[in-house]
Amino acid sequence: MKEIIDALEAKRAAARAGGGERRREAQHAKGKLTARERIELLLDEGSFEEFDMFVEHRCADFGMQDQKVPGDGVVTGWGTINGRLVYVFSKDFTVFGGSLSMAHAEKIVKVQDKALQNGAPCIGIFDAGGARIQEGVDSLAGYAEIFMRNIWGSGVIPQISVIMGPCAGGDVYSPAMTDFIFMVKDTSYMFVTGPDVVKTVTNENVTAEELGGARVHAGKSGVVDGAYENDFETLIQMRRLVDFLPGSNREAPPTRPTFDDPNREEPSLDTLIPDNPNKPYDMKELIEKVADEGDFFEIGKDFGKNIITGFGRLDGSPVGFVANQPMTLAGVLDIDASRKAARFVRFCDAFNIPIVTFVDVPGFLPGTKQEYGGLIKHGAKLLFAYGEATVPKVTVVTRKAYGGAYDVMGSKHLRGDVNYAWPTAEIAVMGAKGAVEIIFRADIGDPEKIAAREKEYKDRFANPFVAASRGYLDDVIMPRETRKRLIRALKALKNKKVETHWKKHDNIPL
């Protein structure tokens, strides 16, 4: 018996050693932790249970039969984050550069299947060189098997991808189909084709960092939802994110006790809206003063900054905040903002997270760049997402809600459950100046008349009362009471049930 135990221990030790001391040191020298170290930081200490530690590849070509490392370049299993079940796989760059073989893919597929079956989030950590070329089509088949699980799991369990090293070629498409992607600055990159191929095909000279670094994807492409400074910070933040998410669409999001008073008033919100209607203000201040303990996990902070999306809690229960940001482009809706918010709204809807919307939107962004880029369809995504969402939806108009953008931003007409406005709200087809220039075109030459007409229009529409008189708003509330009112509204909506027409799935304007 002792011999068998010793043999087991030796096998385990061999698997834990991964690609060996030298490669582990090389990994550290690059500022990266190893696959196992990352799992340790992500999960509660001592909670990780590893699967398939002894799995080896079955390739017999190109001398691969002589190179076998138990585990085959990926560490998989399950553990807990604050006591809640999660499944995890973590690519091991020290073993075959983390490249994907059939056996490696099977390990990932196993945890994906388990996560889906048992209703728990699946977190993938990427740090790998792509397909195991020696395995040829088997490797491609392996990728597709993983992709299929991503698709099955989409909308059923939260799937999170953390890019902590190279992630290129076939490797990028699994993260692309998950709910959230995060990257580590300076030590990770992500692209379909690398700088060498780019150079050959387009003669562009570009570095990996410029082509697919964390800053590029978090800020320019919008592919990733956040970028962090190092492995440690990234994994701490992943723990924080998971605390907002349910295990699956079968359950409500997790609650936790809060130290914050649900009736807390914030008098300073009464002066958040500047006297000058053209002056910006920081919508994040509102979110941070309303959310429990000011805690806000922002999604897509550096992309489409004219809209803010992210998670917070109200009286201990998670909500998704969507808010126009007047500080950037006056909070206008453009392609990036629409795409970003639409995807976030759909995530919240899929996972039973109520949506709280703060509206200060002057409309959609005009211009050829936007129209050529397909603003019509991108804007429609957000409209569609809000309209189809059946989770509790509470909306507060803080200032402008103009034109079609008013309809889009969680309006009553898209089944908004509770719609509030601050006294400073202006709900209208457009700003007074633009409206007057159309309605009273004949008077344009006469500045005095125009000014009088503008004032008339302003007095009539630059307030929340017309909309309130139609019932499009349920109430006009004092800014300082926003937190209290939101919490009350959401409590009343806790058992909301909506029947929808049977369909196979919808056909959102992708």
Site residues, another protein (CB under 8 A): 28, 31, 33, 37, 40-41, 44-45, 47, 80, 82-85, 186, 228-233, 236-237, 243, 246-247, 251, 254-257, 259-260, 267-272, 275, 281-282, 285, 292-295
145 or 285: CB nearest another protein: 285
Q: Is 405 considered catalytic here?
A: yes
Could you give the CA distance from residue 500 to residue 166 in angstroms, rounded to a whole number? Answer: 43
Which of 18, 19, 79, 170 is an active site residue?
Answer: 170
40 or 481: CB nearest another protein: 40
Least Å distance, CB 230 to another protein, is 5
Could you give the CA distance from residue 41 to residue 47 in angstroms, rounded to a whole number? Answer: 11
267 or 471: CB nearest another protein: 267
Q: List CB contacts of 253: < 8 A, sequence separation 6 or more.
A: 244, 245, 246, 317, 318, 351, 352, 353
Residue with tokens 């919490």: 487
Written as six digits, the tokens of 204 are: 């562009």
Q: List CB contacts of 91: < 8 A, sequence separation 6 or more.
A: 35, 73, 74, 98, 124, 125, 126, 127, 128, 165
Q: List CB contacts of 331: < 8 A, sequence separation 6 or more.
A: 283, 306, 307, 324, 325, 360, 361, 362, 400
273 or 414: CB nearest another protein: 273
Could you give the CA distance from residue 127 to residue 164 in angstroms, rounded to a whole number? Answer: 5
Least Å distance, CB 258 to another protein, is 8
Could you give the CA distance from residue 128 to residue 123 in angstroms, rounded to a whole number? Answer: 16
Least Å distance, CB 251 to another protein, is 7
Which of 405, 421, 468, 489 is an active site residue?
Answer: 405
Q: List CB contacts of 8: < 8 A, sequence separation 6 or more.
A: none
Could you give the CA distance from residue 342 to residue 344 in angstroms, rounded to a whole number? Answer: 5
Bridge pairing between strands 418-421 and 475-476: parallel
Q: Is 168 considered catalytic here?
A: no
Q: Is 404 considered catalytic here?
A: yes
217 or 339: CB nearest another protein: 217
- The beta strand positions in 66-108, using DSSP E, are 74-81, 84-91
Least Å distance, CB 346 to another protein, is 23
Least Å distance, CB 83 to another protein, is 3
CB 291 within 8 A of CB 311: no
CB 392 within 8 A of CB 497: no
3-state SS, one letter per residue, for 273-299:
CCCCCCCCCCHHHHHHHHCHHHCEEEE
Least Å distance, CB 38 to another protein, is 9
* Three-state DSSP class for residue 341: helix
Q: Is 170 considered catalytic here?
A: yes
Which of 119, 373, 404, 434 is an active site residue?
Answer: 404
Least Å distance, CB 141 to another protein, is 34
Could you give the CA distance from residue 292 to residue 275 in angstroms, rounded to a whole number? Answer: 28
135 or 243: CB nearest another protein: 243
Least Å distance, CB 170 to another protein, is 29
DSSP-derived secondary structure for 410-471: T-GGGT-SEEEE-TT-EEESS-HHHHHHHHTGGGTT-HHHHHHHHHHHHHHHSSSHHHHHHT
272 or 307: CB nearest another protein: 272
CB 361 within 8 A of CB 402: yes
198 or 330: CB nearest another protein: 330
- Active site residues per annotation: 169-170, 404-405
